[in-house]
Amino acid sequence: MDIATVTLSFVPLLVILGVRTSYSDLRKGIVKNWDLVFTLFAATALYGYLIVYHGVQIDPVLFIGNFCIAASFGLILYFTDCWGAGDAKLFIVYSLMVPFPADRAVLPFSAFVIFANTIMIACGAVILLSLKDVIRSFPQCLQRLFSLKTLKRLMISFSLLLSISWVVPYLLGFFGAHASPLIFILLTYLLYSGLHSILRFFKSYALFSVVVLCGIGIRFWLFPHPLEVLSSLLLSFRKIILVTFFFGLLDIFFQADEVEKKKTNDDSIILAPHMFLGVMLTQTHFLKGVMKLMNYIWR
């Protein structure tokens, strides 16, 4: 049985789970545990059938690694209040049900592909939905973007991003994956969110300084050529500035979206439909196309 047939075998389960969770999330703002449990049992039975009767081979290292990545992403996003518990569990279940994404040559783990697709779709939806509110209050948004408070926050973000900008390319090197601009931004933001939440909890500038200095110090320690590291840091400045201001602009749209949600007494982001669409796009070259566009812009 070829990879395309194995992939098609999981499509009915993915569609059933996607429709049910999207409906319950849109209507009640929850992802039901029963849907996740039923899908896990059905997916386990399907995996067993494909392995026993059709000789399908699933690399255990790839499967376990994918689960660990999905679980790590889910836990980090849940504990940093970016996702709800149901969204995190749904992401893990989806990742287990997509053994062979179309862009596996770009990223070997489906959890990466689903995460990237979901975040891009969710951000695109927020930008489109809040665009009219941003245009309506453009002077206030512009003033907020360049206020002293915002600039201070951007400087903190810039310092933290600069100190950890080497981590993602270094870790991806172990898996033979290329740190493209899109993957760099997504995974660095995930790492940044975790560290930023911890620092925000302790509210200590001393701890912040220690984290930034340690990040830069470890970079010099891992790469034993100081001049090359210093040159790399200087080259990173432009990219980190772009990423920092990109996050700042994105925050403007999310704040406008939050204002709109307060008007309708809705304070949650409906993530399940975006994740469902992201999963469906894993069997296309959507991610590869976006990465090519990002590579062109990044030059």
How sure is the predictor about 265, in pLDDT bands with cuts at 50, 70 and 90?
Answer: very low
Are 111 and 69 within 8 A, CB to CB? yes
Which pLDDT belongs to residue 8?
85
Mean pLDDT of 79-106: 86
| Stated pTM of the model | 0.75
How sure is the predictor about 93, in pLDDT bands with cuts at 50, 70 and 90?
Answer: very high
DSSP of 189-205: HHHHHHHHHHHHHHT-H
Domain assignment present for 103: no
93 and 122 in a single domain? The answer is no
Say whether pLDDT at 112 is over 90. Answer: no
268 and 166 in a single domain? The answer is yes
Which pLDDT belongs to residue 45?
94
How sure is the predictor about 140, in pLDDT bands with cuts at 50, 70 and 90?
Answer: confident
Give 2's DSSP letter: -
Say whether pLDDT at 2 is over 90. Answer: no
180 and 40 in a single domain? The answer is no
Domain assignment present for 215: yes
DSSP of 265-297: T--S---HHHHHHHHHGGGTTHHHHHHHHHHHH
Domain assignment present for 134: yes
Domain boundary, last residue among 97, 125, 159: 97
184 and 263 in a single domain? The answer is yes
Domain assignment present for 210: yes
Which pLDDT belongs to residue 264?
47
Choose the most confident range, by mean pLDDT, from 16-25, 151-160, 182-191, 242-251.
Answer: 16-25
How sure is the predictor about 1, in pLDDT bands with cuts at 50, 70 and 90?
Answer: low
36 and 138 in a single domain? The answer is no
State whether residue 101 is helix, strand or coil: coil
78 and 139 in a single domain? The answer is no
Domain assignment present for 102: no
157 and 88 in a single domain? The answer is no
Which pLDDT belongs to residue 272?
93
**pLDDT tens digits for range 15-60:** 999 999 999 999 988 999 999 999 999 999 999 999 888 888 888 8
Residue 63 is part of which domain span?
A: 3-97
Domain boundary, last residue among 97, 128, 154: 97
Are 210 and 152 within 8 A, CB to CB? no
What count of residues does the chain have? Answer: 299
CA distances from 123 to 75, 150, 161, 185, 249 (A): 20, 21, 20, 13, 12
How sure is the predictor about 131, in pLDDT bands with cuts at 50, 70 and 90?
Answer: confident
Which one has a higher pLDDT value, 265 or 68?
68
The domain total for the chain is 2
Which pLDDT belongs to residue 57?
84
**pLDDT tens digits for range 272-297:** 999 999 999 988 888 878 877 776 66
Structure tokens at 174: 């172990």
Domain boundary, last residue among 97, 132, 167: 97
Are 181 and 294 within 8 A, CB to CB? yes
**pLDDT tens digits for range 3-25:** 777 888 999 999 999 999 999 99
Say whether pLDDT at 154 is over 70. Answer: yes
Mean pLDDT of 78-106: 86
Query: Mean pLDDT over all residues of the chain?
Result: 80
15 and 146 in a single domain? The answer is no
278 and 142 in a single domain? The answer is yes
290 and 155 in a single domain? The answer is yes
264 and 287 in a single domain? The answer is yes
Say whether pLDDT at 145 is over 80. Answer: no
Domain assignment present for 104: no
Say whether pLDDT at 175 is over 80. Answer: no
20 and 150 in a single domain? The answer is no
Cβ density class 181-208: b for 16+ within 10 Å, e for less: bbbbbbbbbbbbbbbbeebeeeeeeeeb
